[in-house]
Structure 1
Amino acid sequence: MKKTTFPILALLASVGIASLTGCSKEQEAAVPTGSAAKQDAKVEEAYPSQTGTTLAGKFGGESIAYQQINGENVFEGDILLTQEQVRSERAQTESAGRNTGKWPSAVVYYTIDANLPNQARVTDAIAHWQANTPVRFVRRTTQSSYVTFQVGSGCSSNIGMIGGRQYINLASGCSTGNTIHEIGHAVGLFHEQTRNDRDTFVNILTQNIQSGYANNFSKYSASGYTGTDFGALDFGSIMMYGSFSFSSNGQPTITKKDGSTFNIQRNGLSVGDKSGIDIMY
């Protein structure tokens, strides 16, 4: 496992924080541009097309807004927060919170619920993570902290290791790429567009965002996390929204600074994603 003296965001706040190589021309070219109609991959949501009660809470010692849907605390669309997390008054800092949420020895213990259909999307996603990162996935035996892949209303996950049993929820429409994305959350990654420096690279067009989904586009600093963003924002990250994600009117919600659009990518971990995980674990 690589050693580094680079500072790391508390709770590994975003893959973009550790896109140390930036977004190379080759990498960016691999992500096609186009209209919303041509975007085949879908954005992950815990409860698609459902909005709940918007509540104020504390996460990492900072005020946040999240939605309570079907008794669950939903943040950024597909991240599930525990009651303890939304009530936390403890500020996260680089030194105090650096290891919070990381899986010890980079080993994630897991089970797959027998009722989950198309389990190959889970095993294929795990194989992709193991082929491209230092994170290992081991079938759970008696371990107390582990992830269960189970049937869900949409695609969702807890963030980082929360202790005890936690879940990655997959509806029938959640693809292998969506599963790779949700595993990203489970190992501690937030969405790429929540980088603190994102305004240098993108425009967030709030007037085009669906009602109730604006919080999906908040910077990670609003969640109480501090640190340094390395390299350029990674438009090819599997943790990045596309230009038309959560659009209310068919117009873009995110564009590059020059006004051009880009597609969502859910094929696999990007070069920047791999670099980030390598630094984090």
Structure 2
Amino acid sequence: MKTTRLSVLALCATVGMTAFSSCSKEQETAVPTSSAAKQEAKAEEAYPGERGTVQTGKFGSESIVYQQINGENILEGDIILAASQLNPTGPQTESAGRNTGKWPSAVVYYTIDAALPSQNRVTDAITHWQTYTAVRFVKRTTQANYVTFRVGSGCSSNIGMIGGRQYINLASGCSTGNTIHEIGHALGLFHEQTRNDRDTYVNILTQNIQAGYENNFTKYGVSGYSGTDFGALDFGSIMMYGSFSFSSNGQPTITKKDGSTFDIQRSGLSAGDRAGIDIMY
């Protein structure tokens, strides 16, 4: 397996799991990306257009900044942090975190809420993950730890297995590609642009970012995660923002080092996404 362009991101001790993203060839995906799909794809948000109050807490031993919107703790726009993952009194042991971070035996138990429209978004996304990775999805019967796909205000998910019932929230505008992305979070993937080494590959143009969304572009090390990056950033990752994500003025928020822009893609897992999950699981 090629690992020369693989990015390895490890969550801090509170979660204790390893999250991987990125890459083989830039823009290489499991499913071809049409021009229309590129134009329509948008970065995911738990509560589109809503801005909460900025909060500071502890994620392991490190301080972390996030937004609290409608009683939920939102990181990087679409990641929901459970109260158990925020630790105001100090770090938990690593062993406790590792026990709850990954889905044992790479099996995710799930249910689909009957009220969720267009359920093919979920079944197609699950089929995609099962086609290109070793992760298996099994309908839940009595299992204690599982994901429920349900109606949401936007597209969002918890990060990793948190224990008990957790949710992937899908508004009507969340596509199959957005669902693949949110499943990535539930498995433990963070956004590709938050790599510690991202400044080697991209420019973050903070002056063009919508007010209140600056934390979506914070490097994971600054946000309280620990880990190691290997290889180059994956512009084709389904976990990567596009050049104009969260722009306040129509100007790019992220460019390549040469100043050129690139599209967001939400068609399928890149080769690097698949390689990372293969190593993780």
Structure 1-normalised TM-score? 0.88
CA distance in 1, matches of 2:172, 2:276: 29
Quick one: which amino acid aligns to residue 41 of structure 1? A
**AA aligned opposite 1:27:** E
Deviation per CA, 1:106-148, whole angstroms, max 9, x where unpaired? 0000000000000000000000000001110000000010000
The AA in structure 2 aligned to 1:53 is T
1:178 to 1:92, Cα distance in 2 relative to 1, 3 A: farther
Q: Which residue of 1 aligns with 2:215?
A: 215
* Alpha-carbon distance in 1 for matches of 2:25, 2:140: 38
Aligned length in residues = 268
1:234 paired with 2:273, answer: no
CA deviation vs aligned residue, 1:247-276 (integer Å, no higher than 9, x gap) = 000000000011000010000000000000
- Give 1:12 deviation, angstroms: 5.2
Displacement of 1:43 in angstroms is 0.9
2:20 to 15, 23, 30: 15
Q: What residue in structure 1 maps to residue 279 of structure 2? A: 279
Partner of 2:75: 75
Distance 2:66 2:144 in 1: 28
Taking structure 1 as reference, are residues 262 and 103 closer, same or farther at Cα in structure 2, changes over 3 Å only?
A: same
- Per-residue deviation, 1:223: 3.0
Supply the RMSD in Å over aligned alpha carbons: 2.5
2:40 corresponds in structure 1 to: 40
- What is the DSSP-based 3-state SS (H/G/I as helix, E as strand, rest coil) of the residue aligned with 1:163? coil
Which structure 1 residue ranges, 4+ long, deviate > 4 Å from structure 2? 11-14, 30-33, 95-100
Instruction: Report the equivalent of 1:131.
Output: 131
CA shift, 1:15, in A, is 3.2
The CA deviation at 1:158 is 0.3
Matched, 1:90 2:95: no
State whether residues 19 and 280 of structure 2, in contact with CA within 8 Å, keep that contact through their aligned partners in structure 1.
no
Q: 1:280 to 1:46 in 2, by over 3 A?
A: same
Q: How high is the sequence identity, in percent, across the aligned residues? A: 74
Structure 1 residues 32 and 98 mapped into 2: Cα distance closer, same or farther (>3 Å)?
Answer: farther
**Letter aligned with residue 148 of structure 1:** T
What SS does the corresponding residue of 2:169 show, helix, strand or coil?
strand
Q: What's 1:165 paired with?
A: 165
Which deviates further from its counterpart, 237-246 or 56-65?
Answer: 56-65
Q: 1:245 to 1:208 in 2, by over 3 A?
A: same
Residue 194 of structure 1 is matched in structure 2 by 194
Distance verdict in 2 for CA 1:204–1:47, change over 3 Å = same
Letter in 2 for 1:51: R
Partner of 1:3: none
TM-score (norm 2): 0.88
The AA in structure 2 aligned to 1:65 is V
Equivalent-residue separation in structure 1 for 2:122 and 2:267 (angstroms): 14
What stretches of structure 1 of length at least 5 have no aligned partner?
1-5
Tell me the amino acid that sits aligned with residue 71 of structure 1.
G
Letter in 2 for 1:140: R
Amino acid at match of 1:277: I
Give CA-to-partner distance per residue, 1:212-270, whole Å, 9 cap, x none: 00000011112322221111100000000000000000000000011000010000000
Counterpart of 2:68, as a letter, is Q
1:258–1:77 distance in 2 versus 1, CA, 3 Å: same
Match of 2:54 in 1: 54
Cα separation, partners in 2 of 1:92 and 1:250, compared to 1, 3 Å? farther
Amino acid at match of 1:279: I
- Residue type of the partner of 1:9? A
- Aligned with 2:148: secondary structure? strand
- Whole-angstrom CA distance in 2 between matches of 1:46 and 1:26: 25
1:46/1:78 contact within 8 Å kept: yes
- CA–CA distance in 2 between the matches of 1:179 and 1:154? 11
- Residue 87 of structure 1 and its aligned partner are, at CA, apart by 2.3
Partners of 2:241 and 2:53 in 1: CA distance: 23
**Counterpart residue identity of residue 231, structure 1:** G
Alignment of 1:95-114 (within 5 A): 100-114=100-114
Distance in 2 separating the partners of 1:230 and 1:43: 24
